């Protein structure tokens, strides 16, 4: 995919994804618009379906809306609120640990720097980039499995891991697309450019796609 083709592809994707719901964390960011809510909902979302993430986050935020309020809850209370999110027991401990760190080291404020965020136990680069982009509207590139897979499927990049994908995209992807790239590709990847047997016959950017690694499509 050439740079010019990428521009056309992004414009086409913005139109086609309007028929589907945005990812759960994006919804929560629109509703609450605070870095803390983005951080916590992203931690809940890991290996969890969007509908579950939305409902679990809503239940938890009804109990606590700040690190100071959250730290007053027990792990059991958080577990109950976010169940049936995947690994809910581990996530409850992570949430309490993160809130404790925010209070002890950052006076309750969520850092706006990716490297600073990843210093906290349980916060990876995907989570940190989402906080920076959705919580602070600062430049960052969030790379999840969809972004990694589709960027390589297009032939736009050639990488082996999501972390490598982030670093390559930081050098190659035009900055105007950094913040929106994740939401575009996640929605696209969940509904059309699925991992196995993607809907290429319905895809508005099929002519730009190299179909790297695609053995069968519809």
Mean pLDDT computed over 36-49: 92
Residues in the chain: 218
> Does residue 150 share a domain with residue 132?
no
> What pLDDT is stored for residue 19 in this prediction?
87
Domain boundary among 136, 164, 194: 136
Contact 177, 143 (CB under 8 A): no
Residue 95 lies inside a defined structural domain of this protein? yes
Residue 26 lies inside a defined structural domain of this protein? no
CATH number for the domain spanning 185: value is 1.10.1670.10
Count how many domains the chain has.
2
Contact 143, 169 (CB under 8 A): yes
Query: What proportion of the chain, given as a percentage, has pLDDT over 90?
Result: 80
Q: How far apart are CA 166 and CA 132, in angstroms?
A: 14
Write out the catalytic residue numbers: 126, 144
Across 15-19, 53-57, 99-103, which has the greatest mean pLDDT?
Answer: 99-103
Per-residue model confidence as pLDDT tens digits over 175-204? 999 988 998 999 999 999 999 999 999 999
**Sole residue written with tokens 């935020």:** 61
Residue 28 lies inside a defined structural domain of this protein? no
Q: Which residues contact 45 (CB under 8 A, 6 or more apart)?
A: 24, 25, 53, 85
Q: Which domain holds residue 43?
A: 33-136
Residue 103 lies inside a defined structural domain of this protein? yes
């Amino acid at each position: 995919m050439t740079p010019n083709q990428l521009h056309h592809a992004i414009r086409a994707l913005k139109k086609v994804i309007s028929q589907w719901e945005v990812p759960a964390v994006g919804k929560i960011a629109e509703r609450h618009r605070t870095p803390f809510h983005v951080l916590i909902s992203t931690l809940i979302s890991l290996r969890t379906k969007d509908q579950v993430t939305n409902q679990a986050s809503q239940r938890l935020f009804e109990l606590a809306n700040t690190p100071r309020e959250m730290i007053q809850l027990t792990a059991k209370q958080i577990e109950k609120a976010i169940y049936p999110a995947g690994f809910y027991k581990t996530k409850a401990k992570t949430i309490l640990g993160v809130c404790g760190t925010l209070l002890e080291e950052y006076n309750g404020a969520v850092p706006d720097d990716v490297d600073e965020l990843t210093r906290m136990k349980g916060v990876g680069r995907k989570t940190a980039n989402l906080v920076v982009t959705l919580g602070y509207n600062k430049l960052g590139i969030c790379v999840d499995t969809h972004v990694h897979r589709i960027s390589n499927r297009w032939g736009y990049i050639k990488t082996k891991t999501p972390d490598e994908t982030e670093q390559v995209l930081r050098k190659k992807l035009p900055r105007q697309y950094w913040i929106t790239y994740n939401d575009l590709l996640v929605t696209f990847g969940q509904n059309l450019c699925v991992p196995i047997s993607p809907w290429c016959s319905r895809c508005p950017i099929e002519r730009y796609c190299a179909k790297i690694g695609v053995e069968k499509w519809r």
